[in-house]
Amino acid sequence: MEAYFEYLREMLIKFFSDLGRFLYKWWVSPWEDVPGNFVSYGSIFDQHVADFQFLGWLFFILFFIFFVALIGAIGFGLFLLIRKYVRFVKKELDKDELRRQVERLNYELYSAIQERDKILNLKTAYMGIKPQEGSEEANVIEEVSSRFPKLISVDHAYKDKNTQIVFKEGLSLEELCNSLRNYSASKLHLYYTIDQVRQLFAGIATSKLIILEGISGTGKTSLANALGKFFSYDSAIIPVQPSWKDRSELLGYYNEFTKKFNESEFLKALYVTTYRKDLNVICLDEMNLARIEYYFAEFLSVMEMVEKDKWVIDLIPNTEKGDPIHLQDGKLLIPQNVVFFGTANNDDSTFTISDKVYDRAISLFFDDKGRPFDAADQEPITIPYSQLEFLFNEAKKQNQISENMLDKFEQLDNFVIKHFKLAFGNRILKQLETFVPVYVGCGGTEVDAFDFIFTNKILKKFESLNIAFLKDELKELEAFLDKLYGKNQFKMALAKIENMLKIG
């Protein structure tokens, strides 16, 4: 037994001795030569200092200052890195703490909802009353238990409501434009030119996305609001947040913890349109505070489909009992009577709107406040969206684009390809087939309609080019437009070109 303890003592002494030598060599030994190194530096200095003379001392001092500054910079850099690392770690810890708090609040919210369900059930059971289907109490219980309380509340609100609207006899697109302009001026004190109103209705006929852009305070959001009031149903104004990065910010998301869908106001406004028969406007206010092609990407893709029955948005994998009536297999069909507006300020606080978005939308530019004018008093009107579609289709039949204008536009296309390496895509040509006839039906001219499309679809792409090296080509384009369409006929395009030449 004594032999074992002697073995254990010697083994432990040997182990800790080796460990001590290892740590000594790792931490202390590397520094043993440092004092000797400084002595060596001094010996080298003593050996040469007598022969330095003036320039030698000057360079010695400069080198010494530089060397000390270098060591200081390295030390300061290490300090900044360590501080940044410490802040990063602290930030991550704060995020973890915030995440834990959110989870706790979600759990408390879930518990509160469950408790409210129990209280409602206990009350009805105690009173011996079973809520009648369709009663307010039954609706409250259904909303609480549903995965979509906001959408279920819409179902209840429209359950017994008559949404049918009769056609307004004798209405024309030109009369509709004048009525909206007069209504905005007489009732809302908002003043728009007749060209802007024509562009608006032609744009609605052409695309489900209308972008109202320009400087702040020129009536962009007000126009979307006025259009809704004119058709007797207020537009839904949805403020876009800079943090929006994907569709969940726009539509909401399903919470696996609470087993409920966190519905957004945008989703509720979109669901309301499934019940209504008139034109409905949903406006994304300051839509370029975030990247549109991120959070609105699904809508941009869906609305490209020719088959309207495929304009569906996936919300959840499947539908359960108690889900909203118009939700089929977890999908929501985008109705044809909805049009999306987006306002955009062009300043340093916003993102540039990409060509992908511009190509699919109709963009109206506002660069000045409206000029007051005397307008006839005009009341709101109520017409079904089907009548608006009928007017658009009639305009397309009656105001087909002339072959002469199509031939000129093809020549313009060839000129732009040759001098600027840009082409009119098939999407633009398809939009022309609707925009031009409807614009003419609104009381405008073919030339002005082509001018609008060329300016907003083609010249807008010139902003990505180096205008400073294309001044001669732009001047040639001005001359070509005057030659092709007549002197100063393409007013919007010529004004845009002149502005580019000034900036370039």
Lowest mean pLDDT among 65-69, 108-112, 264-268, 323-327: 108-112
Contact, 202 vs 226, CB < 8 A?
no
pLDDT bucket at 421, cuts 50 / 70 / 90: confident
Contact, 366 vs 308, CB < 8 A?
no
pLDDT bucket at 485, cuts 50 / 70 / 90: very high
CA 493/CA 482 separation, integer angstroms = 11
Q: Which pair of structure tokens corresponds to residue 1?
A: 């037994």
Question: Percent of the chain at pLDDT above 70?
Answer: 82
pLDDT bucket at 137, cuts 50 / 70 / 90: very low
Architecture of domain 173-366: 3-Layer(aba) Sandwich (3.40)
**Residue with the two structure tokens 């209705």:** 201
Cβ neighbours for 497, distance < 8 A, ≥ 6 positions apart = 459, 474, 477, 478
Q: Classify residue 408 as exposed, middle or buried by CB count within 10 Å of its CB (0-12, 13-18, 19+).
A: middle
Ordered by start, the domain boundaries in the chain are 173-366, 399-503
Output the pTM of the full model. Answer: 0.72
CA 185/CA 6 separation, integer angstroms = 107
Ramachandran assignment for 311, one of left (phi > 0), alpha (psi -120 to 50 degrees), beta (any other) = beta
CA 267/CA 271 separation, integer angstroms = 6
pLDDT bucket at 92, cuts 50 / 70 / 90: low
Q: Classify residue 340 as exposed, middle or buried by CB count within 10 Å of its CB (0-12, 13-18, 19+).
A: buried
Ramachandran assignment for 333, one of left (phi > 0), alpha (psi -120 to 50 degrees), beta (any other) = beta
Q: Residue 197: pLDDT above 90?
A: yes
Q: Which pair of structure tokens corresponds to residue 202?
A: 């032609």
- The strand order across the sheet containing 312-314 reads 312-314, 331-333, 327-328
CA 361/CA 260 separation, integer angstroms = 34
Contact, 383 vs 278, CB < 8 A?
yes
